[in-house]
Structure 1
Amino acid sequence: MNVKIKYSLLAFGLCVGIAVFESCNSSEAAETTIPDKVDFNFHIRPILSDRCFKCHGPDANTREADLRLDTPEGAFAALKDSPDAHALVAGKPELSAVYQRIITSDSTEMMPPVESNLKLSKFEIELLKKWIEQGAEYKPHWAFIIPEKTALPKADKDWVKNELDYFVYAKMKENGLSPSEQASKEQLLKRVYLDLIGLPPSIEAQEDFLADNSEDAFEKVVDELLTSKHYGERMALPWLDVARYADSHGYQDDGLRTMWPWRDWVIHAFNENYSYDKFLQWQLAGDLIDKPSKESILATGFNRNHKITQEGGVIDEEYRIEYVTDRVNTFGKSFLALTFECAHCHDHKYDPISQKEYYSSFAFFNQVPEKGLVGDISLGSLADPPKMQITNKEVDDIFSFINKKDTVKLEVMVMKDQEKFRPTHLLERGNYDALGEEVPFGLPKSIMDFDTTKFVQNRLGLSEWLIDKENPLTARVYVNRIWQQFFGMGIVRTTGDFGMQGDLPSHPELLDWLAVDFRENGWDIKRLVKQIVMTATYQQSSKVEKKHLQTDPTNIYLARSKRERVSAELLKDLVLSSSGLLNEEIGGASVKAYQPDGIWEGATSGRGVLAKYVQDHGEDLYRRGMYVFIKRTVPPPSMLIFDSSNRDQCEVQRITTSTPLQALAMLNNPTVLEASRVLSEKLVDENANDKLATAFRMILCRIGEEEELDLFKKYYEEELAFFKENPAKASETLKVGEYKNNITVKTVEKAALMTCIQLMYNMEEAITKV
């Protein structure tokens, strides 16, 4: 057993080492050469935003010396305390107070102030100087400029596979890099299976692909996966993070809620390839569209997924305001990739979003006739009104995609505006009872004006504003998030922040081309997905060359594929699928899987049906990870260890950690142990040829090399000898899990093989997209 632990920790140690290395090299090589043409958006604004906007930016309440540097009007105006001086003088850094205050050695005059602990590098100072010399031209923030398609750059015609590759190839060459070789067929098959359906390819699928030497062999696999019922599950998973989906209300009592039919709809929408504009509009305003259906109304559950309190004694209006606030913040992050929440209490300090504009956006979500307090927790549900019940007949007729198994009444929270108009006020300092001026429906003008002669003043108008061809953000934000899903990072790495403090796009022309192309082709998500996976960029090897580490350690310029661990939910799916345990049922109520005793009980108020953890049994134990019950105050520990979301709020980008705790979890997780046992029993009982090689291929999705298999054979022989001497240990080892077993026959052989399979699951490659 010690050998197994050593091998497992070694495997995870490698993963940790890689993560630490990448963390230490998280930024690209620093520029050292001043560009011929200094660009405001890509060179100057990031400096001003980081060092200047806090005191000289959009927030009038914290603006010092009445100097505003985020607009040209403010920057070129005469200084308040020196009317003859100007912060910026085009073409003349020697007369520009900003530049002179930056280079001064007088600590009382120096900017940024000494006490701020902010400094500019010599390179940044030279950039500012050259920018002023070239005219100090301001531009709107890049993300607020309507995207346009540019001509395809020059590229190696023998390498590129579609238009996207042209942009990637040009950026590689610009940075002294060349593309990597194509990944092996086995690597490519595993990669695309994990990306499109979240499950590993069977040995039969591997053999079919290896035997197909036609030019369109890979495309045939892609097309097949795009029609799989599991495609919708894979695509829905990150959307559940965005929508902060969970099975409980949150807060201290954290009672049960029934929102899983909405999750079934999301899976259905992706499988049916609903266009993104429809997908977006139904979730924001499916109750307000022309001739709304029960399906479009169900989709609006998106905006009822927020936390809701059930604690007696709370101030009803305070919590109602919290819910509306959550919707506004989620709207800003999910559809616009902007930090709206920063303007909740005051004008945004970095982005051009005023507090008044925040509350004008708030108005769209402020018309729901909801309460701040949900009903009696002891009843175990009361979906809070508004709620619009799903009958068994409707499940049979119009909701065939809802996996409802019983006759229990099914109610889901949805959106509906109240008949009486509720005025919206700016809330002073964000306090629910500090009503300021009344504000109209509206949105930040810096993005796109909300023209009330063009857009109706409700959530439907809001959704139409989002998908309007003049909106610069909506398409950009979504294609960037899909890019992140397939490449591990977005073209804009700060997926949830396209604002002033966010990262600049690594491939701006590519981002714009993708956004325009996506919109021009009907917001077709499956087309976008196929477009990405069919690129030569996607199909590269993940092998890391010395040049990569020197020039681009974090793979910003995509000269190779990125190795990354699969998400927490897919980790469970890989284990269940490769062992043959997976229950492939789509949709339905969430299930309670294996979990250590006492976790819920130790973190509960003791009230309601969720006070005690009652594990499910039978086939429900082997459902996909996305169906595991999420109690917000106590998320599934086996998934939280692997960086899953607790769904408290909208998340568009999960953190990725590598810790020893993860290695220990993989060694002791009952699902991994049970899967190892079941696969071992299956291979022994069926008298499979070369059981170790077969198991290796099922788990790693490739044919094992001779050296690798020899190591496993040696380990198997050691374990076999141990269990022969300790037959009771063999029987004990095989008792893990509830799945029916056959341990009375060939017990020693099954136990030895089980430990080898367990070790395979603990290999870094087993749970990594290579």
Structure 2
Amino acid sequence: MQKGFFFGLSVVLLAGLAWYNQACTNSSAGSSNPDHIPERISYNFDIRPILSDKCLACHGPDANKREAGLRLDIAENAYAALKENPAAHALVPGRPELSEVYLRITSDDTATVMPPPSSNLKLTQREVRLIEAWIKQGAPYEKHWSFVAPRKPARPMVSQTNWPRNEIDYFILQKQEQKGLKPNEDADKEHLLRRLSLDLTGLPPTLEQMDRFLADASPRAYENMVDQLLKSPAYGEKMALHWLDLARYADSHGYQDDGYRTQWPWRDWVIHAFNKNMRYNDFVTWQLAGDLLPGSTKEQLLATGFNRNHKITEEGGVIPEEYRIMYVTDRNDLFGKGLLGVTLECAHCHDHKYDPFSQKEYYQLFAFFNNVNEVGIESVIGGPDTYAKKPLMEISNDDVKNILSFVNKRDTNRLIVSVMGDLDTTRKTHVLKRGAYDDPGEEVQPGTPSAILPFDPSYPKNRLGLAKWLFDSRNPLTARVYVNLLWQEFFGKGLVKTSGDFGMQGELPSHPQLLDWLAVDFMEHGWDIKRLVRQMVTSATYRQSAVVTPEKLATDPDNSLLARGPRYRIHAEFVRDLVLSSSGLLNPTVGGPSVKPYQPAGLWEGATSGRGLLSMYVQDHGPSLYRRGMYTLIKRTVPPPAMAIFDASNRDLCETKRLKTNTPLQALVMMNDPAVLEASRVLAARLLQERGDMPGKIGKAFRLIVSRKPTEQELGILHNYYENARKKLTKTGVDKALAVGEHPIPAGLDRTQLAALMRVVTTIYNLEETITKS
């Protein structure tokens, strides 16, 4: 009966440079006419996407697949005489009638037309016209857009001047108007508060916050709520989550034995850094090179745990140097993907096929991380000394009382954390032929990819110098990449959808001028993260209703133009947080060791070597059962199942973007997870202990969980469901329903009423709206 009701209820309840700026303004994406040809053609935004889709498979960077010796992604190759016909050229600037590219794509002869019919590819008439116009304009090539330092464009002109609330909105509205769209009106206050609270704290708003916000008619009511939430300790916890994914934080070493590790004090530091609004340049510099800063403090040393979160083997019989190289490789690849937003790892074995990074440059960057005083295998799995690997630091109770007060150390046990620390002498770095650890080639010195920014010789050739290079005002990627990551946090996807790949194979930015404006503005204001967050969430763009009309769905199905508010499933950890918070079970303690909540029996035991502290799953009890989702212990080889089903990372590697899926397994978790059922029982018991009638109690449950008042129809359906359940539940059914979870049942409650109301609460938790941000 309960499952059938879910379906019925759901039916009722759910219904750069001058050319760069000019190209962004005039490119083909900027007209409501799909056949429009912009006045000025941009290679990056108009031509290269065509070549990439239709031509570069045979005439691109892959020498093994290249046909006729012709390469079209490099200007000098495209302008040169053809290998098979020296009298002809693929491109003759200004002369499409002499350019073989144009002649071939317009040919009617199946023997010469390009792409060949056998490829099943064909250019549209508009694509042909774009290429013709580009050749007439001189067929100019451009440096890849993301490798050109951003410049702050002027605020664009818009027609609907009363809509923008800050600069973000002008760039968004300009694109909408070019496509003939209008933004949505603001979301109602209930939906807006819920969206804001989930985004800034990862928690639903409290009843007190809802009542106060709804009653506040002042013009600054929304901005005041933003400021209040930014000051909440939960803000640091919410913001830390995306960084834990990026930094591949976990509570085990990985590989087969997968022993326990104590890196959680580094996680406490990350939360602390976000809460005190540490500037992004310092936040990253401390993590990259805190140990190398002049007069380095113990807090700065703790921050470097960032680069010791990688997997570490504890298995006998391995080749130490092989695994040490793997650790350095992990750091190098994290630096590329997480901080630069490029796929440097593709150059580990050979020159990058698509981006201008050579294998030598990969190992020059590798050299910055190759001097850590570590070994491939330090010990076998066992006692406390294996919880962290050298180099390490010990955190004493005295440290916690004084300089590391943010570390939630609750006992007197020895607490050690893996950190960074270099050798006294420089370890030589070589290009590894084919990426093999035991096949060194040319020796290299620390350096950076010149296509991004050559390394300044005035910087020290160590990780501190690398941090200085990263935050050099001329670096084209650092600010863009982090701005994009935060945009992704609040709008569901980045302005560059491929947030870990700003290179040739990545997506073009949907709003390149906005991305550059935000990046430059971020740098100009001292890399202030809270200011950037506030800019985004106070914009009119963010405040829009998520309602979608058929017209907007047809014109912009992916909401790339942001003519409506975001709507997507919240992260796995926040699903748990919402359930615990709304039921009153949430333990709000910030920081501390990871915990082991309810989990199906036998998972660890069935996938373990049988050695070490994590060979068997020993569930926690008491307050530890009700910690936020971000504190759930992550064993890499067997990640928390409820989290994994909701697309959480297992933290094997740097992850800049989570998948968003919708599977029946997620519904099964919400209907059967002991945490959800226990929360339903506890909330039902709380409500039964309060005064008032049953519709009022159900309405309060709905507000606590969904963050809005139910309609009369919704309330009527839920109340009828309660009455039917109360009448039909047997003693056996009641006892079985209430037996879930460890939290005690208050004495004196009518158990049948409790079981019936528990069913109602569970149903509300299972609404799609409950775990969706909209």
TM-score, L = length of structure 2: 0.94
CA change 1:721–1:562 in 2 (3 A) is same
What's the counterpart of residue 239 of structure 2? 235
- 1:512 and 2:516 are equivalent in the alignment: yes
Separation (CA, whole Å) in 2 of partners of 1:511 and 1:764: 32
Say which of 32, 38, 41 aligns to 1:38: 41
Separation (CA, whole Å) in 2 of partners of 1:693 and 1:253: 50
Cα displacement (A) at 1:178: 0.3
Separation (CA, whole Å) in 1 of partners of 2:244 and 2:115: 42
What's the counterpart of residue 576 of structure 2? 572
Q: Deviations over 1:246-298 (max 9, x none)?
A: 00111111111111010000000000100000011111111112221111111
- 1:140 and 2:143 are equivalent in the alignment: yes
What's the counterpart of residue 480 of structure 2? 476
Determine if contact 2:688/2:749 at 8 Å carries over to the other structure.
Answer: no
Determine if contact 1:12/1:660 at 8 Å carries over to the other structure.
Answer: no
Determine if contact 2:316/2:380 at 8 Å carries over to the other structure.
Answer: no
- After superposition, the CA RMSD in angstroms is 2.1
92-101 or 158-167: bigger deviation = 92-101
What's the counterpart of residue 69 of structure 1? 72
Stretches of structure 2 lacking an aligned partner (at least 5 in a row): 16-30
Question: How many equivalent pairs are there?
Answer: 755
Q: Deviations over 1:657-698 (max 9, x none)?
A: 111111111000111100000001111122345211111111
CA change 1:657–1:299 in 2 (3 A) is same
Say which of 351, 357, 360 aligns to 2:355: 351
What's the counterpart of residue 130 of structure 2? 127
Separation (CA, whole Å) in 1 of partners of 2:72 and 2:417: 48
Say which of 91, 100, 104 aligns to 1:97: 100
Letter in 2 for 1:481: L
Separation (CA, whole Å) in 2 of partners of 1:438 and 1:378: 38
What's the counterpart of residue 207 of structure 1? 211
Say which of 265, 289, 294 aligns to 2:269: 265
| 1:478 alignment partner, SS class | helix
Separation (CA, whole Å) in 2 of partners of 1:679 and 1:756: 11
Separation (CA, whole Å) in 2 of partners of 1:533 and 1:692: 32
Cα displacement (A) at 1:120: 3.9
105-114 or 563-572: bigger deviation = 105-114
- 1:698 and 2:704 are equivalent in the alignment: yes
Cα displacement (A) at 1:49: 3.3
Determine if contact 1:360/1:439 at 8 Å carries over to the other structure.
Answer: yes
Give the 5 Å matches for 1:410-559: 410-452=415-457, 454-559=458-563
| 2:442 alignment partner, SS class | strand
603-612 or 229-238: bigger deviation = 603-612
Q: Deviations over 1:110-152 (max 9, x none)?
A: 6556776655444333322221122101111111111111111
What's the counterpart of residue 409 of structure 1? 414
Determine if contact 2:32/2:179 at 8 Å carries over to the other structure.
Answer: no
What's the counterpart of residue 5 of structure 1? 3
Separation (CA, whole Å) in 2 of partners of 1:14 and 1:399: 52
Cα displacement (A) at 1:501: 1.1
What's the counterpart of residue 47 of structure 1? 50
Determine if contact 1:57/1:349 at 8 Å carries over to the other structure.
Answer: no
Letter in 1 for 2:290: G
Letter in 1 for 2:430: H
What's the counterpart of residue 391 of structure 1? 396
Separation (CA, whole Å) in 2 of partners of 1:646 and 1:16: 32
Say which of 702, 711, 716 aligns to 2:717: 711
What's the counterpart of residue 202 of structure 2? 198
Cα displacement (A) at 1:36: 3.1
What's the counterpart of residue 333 of structure 1? 337
Separation (CA, whole Å) in 2 of partners of 1:105 and 1:258: 68
- 1:764 and 2:762 are equivalent in the alignment: no
Q: Deviations over 1:211-236 (max 9, x none)?
A: 11000011111111111111100100
Cα displacement (A) at 1:48: 2.7
Separation (CA, whole Å) in 1 of partners of 2:271 and 2:215: 32
Separation (CA, whole Å) in 1 of partners of 2:666 and 2:33: 34
Determine if contact 2:583/2:682 at 8 Å carries over to the other structure.
Answer: yes
| 1:388 alignment partner, SS class | strand
Cα displacement (A) at 1:202: 1.1
What's the counterpart of residue 193 of structure 2? 189
Letter in 1 for 2:719: K
CA change 1:382–1:173 in 2 (3 A) is same
Determine if contact 2:260/2:387 at 8 Å carries over to the other structure.
Answer: no
| 1:750 alignment partner, SS class | helix
Determine if contact 2:573/2:630 at 8 Å carries over to the other structure.
Answer: yes
CA change 1:174–1:311 in 2 (3 A) is same
- 1:585 and 2:585 are equivalent in the alignment: no
| 1:415 alignment partner, SS class | coil
Determine if contact 1:9/1:660 at 8 Å carries over to the other structure.
Answer: no
What's the counterpart of residue 175 of structure 1? 179
| 1:378 alignment partner, SS class | coil
Cα displacement (A) at 1:46: 2.0
Letter in 2 for 1:667: M
Separation (CA, whole Å) in 2 of partners of 1:315 and 1:29: 61
Cα displacement (A) at 1:12: 7.5
Separation (CA, whole Å) in 2 of partners of 1:406 and 1:761: 36
What's the counterpart of residue 721 of structure 1? 727
Separation (CA, whole Å) in 2 of partners of 1:576 and 1:398: 32
CA change 1:400–1:13 in 2 (3 A) is farther
Q: Deviations over 1:314-365 (max 9, x none)?
A: 1111111111111111111111110111111111111111111111111111
Separation (CA, whole Å) in 1 of partners of 2:378 and 2:599: 28
CA change 1:301–1:101 in 2 (3 A) is farther
Determine if contact 1:58/1:347 at 8 Å carries over to the other structure.
Answer: no
Letter in 2 for 1:409: R
Separation (CA, whole Å) in 1 of partners of 2:742 and 2:465: 52
CA change 1:382–1:591 in 2 (3 A) is closer
Determine if contact 2:596/2:620 at 8 Å carries over to the other structure.
Answer: yes
Determine if contact 2:431/2:444 at 8 Å carries over to the other structure.
Answer: yes
What's the counterpart of residue 652 of structure 1? 656
What's the counterpart of residue 18 of structure 2? none
What's the counterpart of residue 755 of structure 1? 759
CA change 1:630–1:113 in 2 (3 A) is farther
364-373 or 714-723: bigger deviation = 364-373
Separation (CA, whole Å) in 1 of partners of 2:427 and 2:770: 55
| 2:50 alignment partner, SS class | helix
What's the counterpart of residue 26 of structure 2? none
TM-score, L = length of structure 1: 0.94
What's the counterpart of residue 162 of structure 1? 166
Separation (CA, whole Å) in 1 of partners of 2:567 and 2:222: 20
Q: Deviations over 1:504-545 (max 9, x none)?
A: 111111111100000000000000001111111111111111
Structure 1 vs Structure 2: percent identity of aligned residues?
Answer: 58
Cα displacement (A) at 1:546: 1.7
Separation (CA, whole Å) in 2 of partners of 1:118 and 1:73: 26
Separation (CA, whole Å) in 2 of partners of 1:46 and 1:218: 41
Separation (CA, whole Å) in 2 of partners of 1:333 and 1:383: 25
601-610 or 573-582: bigger deviation = 601-610
* Structure having greater relative contact order (Cα 8 Å, sep ≥ 6): 1
Stretches of structure 1 lacking an aligned partner (at least 5 in a row): 18-27
Determine if contact 1:76/1:89 at 8 Å carries over to the other structure.
Answer: yes
Letter in 2 for 1:418: L
Separation (CA, whole Å) in 1 of partners of 2:654 and 2:567: 26
Determine if contact 2:262/2:387 at 8 Å carries over to the other structure.
Answer: no
Q: Deviations over 1:4-29 (max 9, x none)?
A: 21233567899999xxxxxxxxxx99
Letter in 2 for 1:35: P
